Amino acid sequence: MSDDRMADHWWWRPGWRVGRRFYTWHFTFRDATDVHRLAADYRRGLRNLPGLDPVPDQWLHLTTQGLGFTDEVPEKDARAVVDAAARRLDGHPAFDLTLHHPGITPEAIRWEASPARPPADVRRALRGAIGDVRSDVPEPEDGFVPHVTIAYSNADGLVQPVVDALSRVVTKPATARIESVELIVLNRDHQMYEWEPFAEVRLRNGHRDKPSIATKP
Protein backbone atom coordinates (compact mmCIF):
# COMPACT_ATOMS: atom_id res chain seq x y z
CA MET A 1 0.00 0.00 0.00
CA SER A 2 1.37 3.40 -1.03
CA ASP A 3 1.93 6.01 1.67
CA ASP A 4 -0.34 8.42 -0.23
CA ARG A 5 -3.38 6.09 -0.16
CA MET A 6 -5.95 5.08 2.42
CA ALA A 7 -7.25 1.49 2.60
CA ASP A 8 -10.38 -0.24 3.88
CA HIS A 9 -9.91 -1.21 7.52
CA TRP A 10 -12.93 -3.50 7.63
CA TRP A 11 -11.64 -6.50 5.70
CA TRP A 12 -12.13 -9.71 7.66
CA ARG A 13 -8.95 -10.60 9.50
CA PRO A 14 -8.17 -14.30 9.99
CA GLY A 15 -10.65 -15.89 12.37
CA TRP A 16 -13.12 -13.03 12.29
CA ARG A 17 -16.63 -13.28 10.86
CA VAL A 18 -20.05 -11.78 11.52
CA GLY A 19 -21.33 -12.94 14.88
CA ARG A 20 -17.97 -14.00 16.30
CA ARG A 21 -16.83 -12.42 19.57
CA PHE A 22 -13.37 -11.83 21.03
CA TYR A 23 -12.10 -11.36 24.58
CA THR A 24 -9.66 -8.47 24.73
CA TRP A 25 -8.29 -6.01 27.27
CA HIS A 26 -8.85 -2.32 26.53
CA PHE A 27 -8.59 1.00 28.22
CA THR A 28 -11.90 2.72 27.54
CA PHE A 29 -12.96 6.37 27.75
CA ARG A 30 -16.66 6.38 28.58
CA ASP A 31 -16.21 8.96 31.37
CA ALA A 32 -13.30 10.88 29.83
CA THR A 33 -15.04 14.16 29.04
CA ASP A 34 -11.86 15.92 27.94
CA VAL A 35 -11.18 13.16 25.39
CA HIS A 36 -14.80 13.45 24.21
CA ARG A 37 -14.24 17.17 23.67
CA LEU A 38 -11.13 16.51 21.58
CA ALA A 39 -12.85 13.74 19.64
CA ALA A 40 -15.78 16.04 18.82
CA ASP A 41 -13.37 18.65 17.46
CA TYR A 42 -11.80 16.12 15.11
CA ARG A 43 -15.10 14.54 14.09
CA ARG A 44 -16.24 18.00 13.01
CA GLY A 45 -13.01 18.52 11.11
CA LEU A 46 -13.40 15.22 9.25
CA ARG A 47 -17.17 15.25 8.70
CA ASN A 48 -17.10 16.26 5.02
CA LEU A 49 -14.65 13.57 3.98
CA PRO A 50 -16.00 10.41 2.36
CA GLY A 51 -14.57 7.01 3.19
CA LEU A 52 -14.23 7.48 6.95
CA ASP A 53 -16.09 5.99 9.93
CA PRO A 54 -15.64 8.35 12.89
CA VAL A 55 -15.62 6.61 16.27
CA PRO A 56 -18.39 7.72 18.69
CA ASP A 57 -17.44 8.58 22.26
CA GLN A 58 -18.82 5.30 23.63
CA TRP A 59 -16.49 3.24 21.42
CA LEU A 60 -13.25 5.19 21.90
CA HIS A 61 -10.62 2.78 23.20
CA LEU A 62 -6.96 2.00 23.55
CA THR A 63 -6.41 -1.56 22.35
CA THR A 64 -4.16 -3.29 24.84
CA GLN A 65 -3.99 -7.11 24.82
CA GLY A 66 -6.11 -9.80 23.21
CA LEU A 67 -7.08 -13.00 24.99
CA GLY A 68 -8.91 -14.99 22.30
CA PHE A 69 -12.21 -15.75 20.61
CA THR A 70 -15.00 -16.56 23.03
CA ASP A 71 -15.64 -19.92 21.33
CA GLU A 72 -12.01 -20.90 21.95
CA VAL A 73 -11.42 -19.49 25.45
CA PRO A 74 -13.64 -21.06 28.15
CA GLU A 75 -15.35 -18.50 30.36
CA LYS A 76 -13.71 -20.06 33.42
CA ASP A 77 -10.32 -19.30 31.88
CA ALA A 78 -11.33 -15.71 31.19
CA ARG A 79 -12.38 -15.30 34.82
CA ALA A 80 -9.14 -16.88 36.00
CA VAL A 81 -7.17 -14.43 33.83
CA VAL A 82 -9.07 -11.55 35.44
CA ASP A 83 -8.14 -12.85 38.90
CA ALA A 84 -4.50 -13.20 37.87
CA ALA A 85 -4.52 -9.69 36.38
CA ALA A 86 -5.83 -8.26 39.65
CA ARG A 87 -2.99 -9.94 41.52
CA ARG A 88 -0.35 -8.72 39.11
CA LEU A 89 -1.74 -5.17 39.05
CA ASP A 90 -2.08 -4.95 42.82
CA GLY A 91 -0.32 -1.70 43.69
CA HIS A 92 -0.03 -0.50 40.08
CA PRO A 93 -0.86 3.21 40.12
CA ALA A 94 -3.50 4.95 38.08
CA PHE A 95 -2.01 7.33 35.49
CA ASP A 96 -2.78 10.14 33.06
CA LEU A 97 -2.66 9.87 29.28
CA THR A 98 -2.51 12.81 26.89
CA LEU A 99 -3.82 12.90 23.31
CA HIS A 100 -3.20 15.77 20.90
CA HIS A 101 -2.48 15.70 17.16
CA PRO A 102 -3.59 12.49 15.43
CA GLY A 103 -1.48 10.72 12.87
CA ILE A 104 -2.57 8.77 9.81
CA THR A 105 -2.04 5.11 8.99
CA PRO A 106 -3.43 3.57 5.80
CA GLU A 107 -6.48 2.25 7.67
CA ALA A 108 -7.03 4.76 10.48
CA ILE A 109 -6.60 8.22 11.94
CA ARG A 110 -5.35 7.89 15.49
CA TRP A 111 -3.71 9.61 18.42
CA GLU A 112 -0.59 8.08 19.92
CA ALA A 113 -1.06 8.27 23.67
CA SER A 114 1.60 9.84 25.84
CA PRO A 115 3.39 8.74 27.95
CA ALA A 116 3.63 5.28 26.41
CA ARG A 117 5.24 3.50 29.35
CA PRO A 118 2.28 3.22 31.81
CA PRO A 119 -0.06 1.44 29.36
CA ALA A 120 2.85 -0.72 28.21
CA ASP A 121 3.53 -1.70 31.83
CA VAL A 122 -0.12 -2.66 32.32
CA ARG A 123 -0.03 -4.67 29.12
CA ARG A 124 3.04 -6.53 30.35
CA ALA A 125 1.17 -7.45 33.53
CA LEU A 126 -1.84 -8.60 31.49
CA ARG A 127 0.36 -10.81 29.33
CA GLY A 128 1.79 -12.33 32.49
CA ALA A 129 -1.74 -12.95 33.79
CA ILE A 130 -2.72 -14.73 30.58
CA GLY A 131 0.43 -16.86 30.84
CA ASP A 132 -0.52 -17.76 34.41
CA VAL A 133 -3.70 -19.42 33.12
CA ARG A 134 -3.16 -20.43 29.50
CA SER A 135 -0.30 -21.99 27.59
CA ASP A 136 -0.37 -19.39 24.80
CA VAL A 137 -0.24 -15.60 25.10
CA PRO A 138 -1.64 -14.11 21.88
CA GLU A 139 -0.13 -11.22 19.93
CA PRO A 140 3.53 -10.20 19.78
CA GLU A 141 5.12 -8.85 22.93
CA ASP A 142 7.10 -6.23 21.00
CA GLY A 143 5.82 -3.43 18.80
CA PHE A 144 3.03 -2.19 21.07
CA VAL A 145 2.12 1.44 20.31
CA PRO A 146 -0.60 2.76 22.63
CA HIS A 147 -3.07 4.64 20.46
CA VAL A 148 -6.68 5.77 20.28
CA THR A 149 -8.43 5.85 16.92
CA ILE A 150 -10.76 8.73 16.00
CA ALA A 151 -11.77 7.39 12.55
CA TYR A 152 -11.35 4.23 10.46
CA SER A 153 -10.98 4.23 6.71
CA ASN A 154 -13.68 2.25 4.92
CA ALA A 155 -12.44 2.64 1.34
CA ASP A 156 -9.43 3.13 -0.88
CA GLY A 157 -8.67 6.81 -1.38
CA LEU A 158 -6.09 9.56 -1.33
CA VAL A 159 -4.55 10.49 1.99
CA GLN A 160 -3.97 14.18 1.15
CA PRO A 161 -7.57 15.32 1.83
CA VAL A 162 -7.27 13.76 5.30
CA VAL A 163 -3.97 15.55 5.89
CA ASP A 164 -5.54 18.84 4.82
CA ALA A 165 -8.62 18.37 7.03
CA LEU A 166 -6.55 17.52 10.09
CA SER A 167 -4.33 20.56 9.58
CA ARG A 168 -7.38 22.84 9.85
CA VAL A 169 -8.45 21.53 13.26
CA VAL A 170 -7.47 23.95 16.01
CA THR A 171 -7.84 22.49 19.47
CA LYS A 172 -5.94 21.80 22.66
CA PRO A 173 -4.66 18.47 24.01
CA ALA A 174 -6.89 16.21 26.07
CA THR A 175 -5.91 14.35 29.21
CA ALA A 176 -7.62 11.24 30.57
CA ARG A 177 -7.15 9.69 33.99
CA ILE A 178 -6.76 5.93 33.59
CA GLU A 179 -7.99 4.18 36.72
CA SER A 180 -8.85 0.73 35.36
CA VAL A 181 -8.37 -1.71 32.52
CA GLU A 182 -11.30 -3.70 31.15
CA LEU A 183 -11.74 -7.16 29.71
CA ILE A 184 -14.45 -6.79 27.07
CA VAL A 185 -16.29 -9.00 24.60
CA LEU A 186 -15.62 -7.35 21.25
CA ASN A 187 -17.37 -7.56 17.90
CA ARG A 188 -16.93 -5.83 14.54
CA ASP A 189 -20.27 -6.79 12.97
CA HIS A 190 -21.37 -3.25 12.12
CA GLN A 191 -18.22 -1.65 10.71
CA MET A 192 -17.26 -0.43 14.18
CA TYR A 193 -15.58 -1.97 17.22
CA GLU A 194 -18.39 -2.48 19.73
CA TRP A 195 -18.37 -4.48 22.93
CA GLU A 196 -20.01 -5.72 26.08
CA PRO A 197 -18.10 -5.40 29.37
CA PHE A 198 -16.91 -8.63 30.97
CA ALA A 199 -14.67 -7.50 33.85
CA GLU A 200 -12.83 -4.44 35.11
CA VAL A 201 -9.64 -4.38 37.16
CA ARG A 202 -9.11 -1.09 38.93
CA LEU A 203 -5.68 0.44 39.48
CA ARG A 204 -4.51 2.03 42.72
CA ASN A 205 -5.55 5.68 42.68
CA GLY A 206 -2.82 6.98 44.92
CA HIS A 207 -4.71 6.53 48.19
CA ARG A 208 -5.19 3.30 50.12
CA ASP A 209 -7.57 1.41 47.89
CA LYS A 210 -6.53 -1.85 46.26
CA PRO A 211 -7.47 -3.03 42.78
CA SER A 212 -11.03 -4.30 42.64
CA ILE A 213 -12.69 -6.62 40.17
CA ALA A 214 -16.14 -6.22 38.69
CA THR A 215 -17.41 -9.02 36.47
CA LYS A 216 -20.63 -9.76 34.67
CA PRO A 217 -22.99 -12.19 36.44
- Asked if 101 and 174 count as a contact pair (C-beta separation under 8 A), the reply is no
Residue 48 lies in a domain: yes
How far is C-alpha 68 from the chain's CA centre? 15
Domain extent for 168: 5-9+19-215
pLDDT, averaged across the chain: 94
Assign 206 a pLDDT band (cuts: 50, 70, 90): very low
Q: Is 2 exposed, middle or buried (0-12, 13-18, 19+ CB in 10 A)?
A: exposed
* Within-domain flag for 27: yes
Q: What is the CATH number of the domain that holds 128?
A: 3.90.1140.10
How many domains are contained in the chain? 1
Residue 14 maps to a domain: no
Structural domain contains residue 79 = yes
Can you give the pLDDT at residue 205?
77
Residue 3: band (very low, low, confident or very high) from pLDDT cuts 50, 70, 90: confident
Tell me whether residue 149 is in a domain: yes
The one-character DSSP state at 85 is: H
pLDDT in tens, 77-122: 999 999 999 999 999 999 999 999 999 999 999 999 999 999 999 9
Does pLDDT of 215 surpass 80?
no
Is 179 a member of any domain? yes
d(CA 193, CA 55): 9
Q: Is residue 128 part of a domain?
A: yes
Q: Tens digit of pLDDT for each residue in 123-143?
A: 999 999 999 999 999 999 999
Q: Angle at the Cα of 47 (from 29 to 53), degrees rounded to 5?
A: 55
